[in-house]
Amino acid sequence: MDCKEFRDIVADLFDRDVEPRTKAECEQHISQCAECKEYYEELQATAALLRPRHSPVPVREAPSTTNFLYKVAAIFLGVILLSGIAYAAVRVFTQNKEAEPAASVQQEPEHKMLVAFFLPDDASEWHKKHLGDAICVDWSRGAWIQNGGDSFIEEHPFCKMGQMFRVNNSTVRLDGRELDIHHLPDLPAKALKKMEIRYENDSILVNIITTPVQVPADVKGNINPELTVLLTGTPPKENPVKSSIYVKGGIHDSFNWKQYTYTSWTSTIENIGMQLEEVAIRKDHHVHVNVCRGVPQKHIDRIKKLMQENGVTNYELVNQQ
């Protein structure tokens, strides 16, 4: 395992369903690589910090707090260390218990639009330099988001990845009035109708609009209704992530796992069920399943069952010739 492979999968190392072999390879790598060991330790420290004093309500069926925070921390470190951009698109959860099963949820919780994140006084010097107090923004279905050159309409019931804006380099306005992180209004996420994010030199300018807006016809939703799933049967030997299932947006005929992104069957961070559930939100969805030679019937039956459980009605299986 090299450094790139380690950093690609390090967040999954904290998942309960991680393959023992993958965990062992990661541990062996950091025992020999001082740089990746330092990154691993920063990841742990950053995950511990991503717990705001005022927390949003967690989404239904959210992954466990610990696992999700490591994923968030990896995003934070990746954005900060690789690009130097002073914000990361993350949502911070703060419950210490596992999310309740969907069947036990009687009523969908109301999500907050604005949440304050304060860096603890005992944070390390590294975190004080690279992170800082921030305003977290979340929104729900129908919101129009303009982020630089990217423009889309939110199609998920609740945004998958909110935005976090550091107060030392961001100006966040609500209907034209600048927000004070210490006195954020208590508004539901559904109140956000449009958010405009602009970048000027080293500053970020954010304008949140809560009054009705007219969305241009050419602005599309943010869910790709087409998904290709690749079943390999056994995990490819060359892949350090020992997965037998892969995905890629759109419809593809390839049976080469290297052209796909790995996913998992059961990971609490991200799994195929979550991805199928997202695609099924779109009524015009289409899932294409490429089945490699030698895939056991139990994997085929399993993916069919997941289609049914997650509301996917339009799909096809193609066997490798």
Question: What confidence tens digit (pLDDT) does each residue in 248-288 have?
Answer: 999 999 999 999 998 989 876 679 999 999 999 999 999 99
Give whole-number Cα distances, 285 to 250, 303, 311, in Å.
10, 16, 10
Longest CA–CA span in the chain (Å) reads 63
Average pLDDT over residues 297-308: 97
Where exactly are the structural domains of the chain? Answer: 53-62+80-209, 226-314
Alpha carbon distance 20, 32 (integer Å):
19
Alpha carbon distance 171, 198 (integer Å):
10
65/179: higher pLDDT? 179
Written as one letter, the residue type at 119 is L
Alpha carbon distance 5, 287 (integer Å):
28
Alpha carbon distance 23, 38 (integer Å):
17
Q: Does residue 107 register a pLDDT over 80?
A: no
Q: Does residue 245 register a pLDDT over 90?
A: yes
Q: Give the three-class secondary structure for 27.
A: helix
The closest alpha carbon to 56, from 90, 105, 91, 89, belongs to: 91
Q: Does residue 75 register a pLDDT over 90?
A: no
Task: Strands of the chain (E only): list them.
Answer: 87-88, 114-117, 134-137, 144-147, 150-153, 163-166, 170-174, 177-178, 194-200, 203-209, 226-231, 245-249, 261-262, 286-291, 315-319
Query: Tokens standing for 177?
Result: 């009035």
Average pLDDT over residues 35-58: 61
Q: How confident is the model at residue 50 (pLDDT cuts 50, 70, 90)?
A: low
Q: Which range, 3-17, 37-51, 200-214, is most confident?
A: 200-214
Cα end-to-end distance, the chain, whole Å: 32
* Rg from Cα positions in the chain: 21
pTM above 0.75, yes or no: no
What is the structure's pLDDT at 46? 64
Q: Give, as one character, the DSSP assignment of residue 214.
A: P
What is the structure's pLDDT at 65? 40
Pick the CATH number of 226-314 from 1.10.3470, 3.30.420, 3.20.20, 3.10.100: 3.30.420
| pLDDT (tens digit per residue) in 108-155 | 457 899 999 888 777 777 777 767 788 999 999 999 999 988 999 999
235/242: higher pLDDT? 235
What is the structure's pLDDT at 160? 83
| pLDDT (tens digit per residue) in 158-178 | 998 888 898 888 999 999 999
